[in-house]
Amino acid sequence: MTNAVAGLGLAPDAAMVTFPIEMFLPGSDISPVEARKREFYDGLTQWRSAFAGDGGAQSPMITVQGASIEDAFSRANNLMLANRWGDGLPLWPPTRERVDWILRGATQPRGRRIGIFPPRGGVTTVETCAIALAMAGGRPEYLPVLVAAVDAFLDPESGSAQLQAASGSAFPVVIVNGPIGAQIRLNSGFGCLGPDPQRPAGASIGRALRLLQQNVGGALPGIGTMANYGGVRYTNVVFAEDEANLPRGWATHAAERHAYAPGQNSISLAFANGATNIRRRGAKKETPEEDALQGMYRMADFMRVPNMPGLSGYEHGTPGILMIPGVVANTMAGLGWTKASIREFLWEQSRIPTEHLRRAGCPAWIEIDSSKVVRESIALDPWPITASPDNFIVVVAGGGHPTNSYWLQGYSPGVVGRTVDVPASFEGLLVEAERDLGPTATA
Amino acid sequence: MSGDGDSRIITVMITLEFHDPSGAIEVTQRFAPRITTLQGKRVGFVSNDQWQAFRMLPLLKKLFEADFPGIEVLPIDAFPQGNAVIGSEETAAQVKQSGVDAVIIGNAA
């Protein structure tokens, strides 16, 4: 709550009376309200904000000393954890030299204000992004994607102001289109949602975004974010669409969702709060047509659950992101499937019978939703999990193997796109990356 | 050691200077001034109708009314309820027009 009021431009110490969570549950003992009634009275009459500063100045520099490089590095990491700036993994101290190096990837002045990070309201600049990227082990050529992702994150359409603090454990998903994906070593193939020393960009960019969410946005577990589980938050999800294996005639995600031209560097940001593998391949003597159709049913069946995160993006957002490997996409394209027909199929086949909604108590959530479209959807039986087939995101990504697809369950009021600008020195940064990291992987 | 009495050990400290990563906070508006007393005042509730607010806020209303003679505490449904509406400009305008001296907002969890 203190974060929330700070995010509104108020001092971050509002008059509040707080109780353990048990009192907010059905059937609870609410007698503590009476026992502490004086705090309510004082909050309206006696309370004064203790926040003195306006905080508009530059972030200060911090100094640690150690008897050796190892000792100084250790002390810096300890200090960052003590200040609640870390994630438990080693951090690269964002020294002036390292941050200046990262800023070689900037296209705008370091002090250019991108926005305020919800819910705490920390002022976010290009330099703030560079500091986070330095801490996350990033490189200059990653900065354009991070800055674009942060800009999208801070767009009110993304819903980040609510999702940063909400209990539903949302994490941002950043889909990258355009040549920059391969250029900066983002993964689009095998293991694209996990660690890969050959393609380390996604981990650094996603971790930097998480550090910004926590350090600047105040989304500290149990304090600034009430996320029950917080899964996938070490690195969030940052990957590139596998455009090299996109079937002929299939448009990129960026073109379909944001109308960006082919070859345009861009990012697309949505929120998810679930991630699961779906085994889609057949096991016996299926024909190609049967194999494709059975896999589609398996995916739709997985989506047909009375689980309510899709409500937040019912009208304009997304119920989720379906990732299909290029080899599967090309086989399906050969059978006549398109991204649009896949979305139509999923929309029809993931509808939930009203009786299933009712027995799970879902109508109450639908009835209190702020969206008229959501409230009126209760009349539909079977109930579509999203207002339009177009809301499904279908992306070609994942290793060249036909067995699995992947579903990132959406929890996303909007899907926000941004083009990515690179500095004039970008080619030089890529040459330096090749010098530092070796040639880009080909497999 | 040479034994000449000049054998000092010199320790060179490594210094790391780095940026505070937390970003600045800007205060652009102040909280409403507190009222001097609750006696004779008009108090309202803005409720999101969640987290047992339907039980706690009426209890608070009773407590205020018992402890402060002349206080007027509006019913919990005097203003629109629910997360979808309590943050709107329309609700804020209704609260202002009601002439309340103070407002309690609840519940969050």
Q: Judge: A65–B14 Cβ closer than 8 Å, yes or no.
A: yes
B21 contacts A216 by C-beta, under 8 angstroms: yes
What is the arithmetic mean of pLDDT over A413-442? 96
**Dist CA A222 CA A214 (whole Å):** 12
How far does the CA of residue B2 sit from the closest CA of chain A (Å)? 25
Show residues of chain A in contact with B63, CB under 8 Å: 33-34, 37, 40
**pLDDT at residue B9, as a whole number:** 76
Give residue B87's pLDDT band: very low, low, confident or very high (50, 70, 90): confident
Tell me the DSSP string of chain B. --SSS--PPPPPPEEEEEE-TT--B---SPPPPPPS--TT-EEEEEE-S-TTHHHHHHHHHHHHHHHSTT-EE--TTSS--STTTTTSHHHHHHHHHHT-SEEEEE---
Q: At residue B65, does pLDDT exceed 50?
A: yes
Nearest to A310 by CA among A268, A346, A286, A256: A346
The answer to whether the CB atoms of B56 and A30 lie below 8 A apart is yes
Task: Establish, for the pair of chains A and B, how many residue pairs have beta carbons separated by less than 8 Å.
Answer: 169
Spell out which residues of chain B touch residue A30, defining contact as CB-CB under 8 Å: 52, 55-56, 59
Rounded Cα–Cα distance for residues A102 and A94 (Å) = 10
Q: Is B102 on the interface with A (CB under 8 A)?
A: yes
Is a pLDDT exceeding 90 seen at residue A223? no
Query: Quick check: A33 and B24 CB within 8 A?
Result: no
- What is the Cα–Cα distance from A215 to B21, expressed in whole angstroms? 7
Cα–chain-centroid distance for residue A220?
A: 16
Query: Measured between CB atoms, which of B23, B64, B85 is closest to A216?
Result: B23
Peptide bond into A215 cis (omega under 30): no
Please report the ipTM that was assigned to this predicted complex.
Answer: 0.88
Residue holding tokens 């974060």? Answer: A3
Q: What is the DSSP letter of A38?
A: H
State what percent of residues in chain A have pLDDT above 70.
Answer: 97
Place of tokens 């200046």: A100
> Among A109-118, A408-417, B29-38, which is the least confidently predicted range?
B29-38
Q: Do A24 and B52 form a contact (C-beta atoms < 8 A)?
A: yes
Cβ-Cβ contacts under 8 Å, A21 against chain B: 109
pLDDT tier for residue A6 given thresholds of 50, 70 and 90: low
Distance (Å, whole) CA A30 – CA B73: 20
Residues of chain B with Cβ-Cβ distance to A64 below 8 Å are 15-16
**Which pLDDT band holds residue B27 (cuts at 50, 70, 90)?**
confident
Q: Mean pLDDT, chain B, as a whole number? A: 89
Residues of chain A with C-beta less than 8 angstroms from the C-beta of B82 = 368
Q: Whole-number mean pLDDT of chain A? A: 94
Contacting residues of B for A110, CB less than 8 Å apart: none
Q: What is the pLDDT of residue A366?
A: 95
Contact call for A65 and B24, based on CB within 8 A = no
User: B9 or A123, which is more confident?
Assistant: A123
Please indicate whether, in this complex, the C-beta atoms of A34 and B59 are within 8 angstroms of each other. Answer: yes
The count of residues in chain A is 443
Residue A4 pLDDT > 90: no
Compute CA distances A4 → A12, A376, B33, B35, B46, whole Å: 8, 31, 19, 23, 17
pLDDT (mean) for A397-419? 97
Which member of A15, A54, A65 has the closest CB to residue B15?
A65
Determine which of A221-225, A328-332, A432-436 has the lowest per-residue pLDDT on average. Answer: A221-225
Given a cut of 50, whether residue A394 has pLDDT beyond it is yes
Query: Between chains, do B25 and A41 touch, taking CB under 8 Å as contact?
Result: no
User: Tell me: the pLDDT tens digits for A23-69?
Assistant: 998 999 999 999 999 999 999 999 988 776 545 546 689 999 999 99
Give the span between the Cα atoms of A93 and A211, in whole angstroms. 13
pLDDT tens digits, one per residue of A148-178: 999 999 999 999 999 999 999 999 999 999 9
- CA atoms within 13 Å, Cβ hemisphere of A301: 9
A35 contacts in chain B (CB < 8 Å): none
Question: How close, in Å, is residue B94 to chain A by CA atoms?
Answer: 19
The mean pLDDT of B9-25, rounded to a whole number, is 90
Q: Tell whether B2 is within 8 A of chain A (Cβ).
A: no
* Mean per-residue pLDDT, A246-264: 97
**pLDDT higher than threshold 60 for residue B3:** no
Can you read off the two tokens belonging to residue A14?
Answer: 């509002």
A 376-435 residues inside an 8 A Cβ radius of B: none
**Structure tokens, A99:** 């941050």
Residue A421 tokens, joined? 């600008």
Tokens 């026992």 locate to A35
CB-CB contact of A233 with A173 (8 Å): no
Whether A57 and B24 lie within 8 Å, measured CB to CB = yes
Residue contact A73–B34, C-beta within 8 A: no
| Whole-angstrom distance, CA of residue A414 vs CA of residue A312 | 9
pLDDT at B101: 96
Q: Residue ranges of the domains in chain B?
A: 42-106
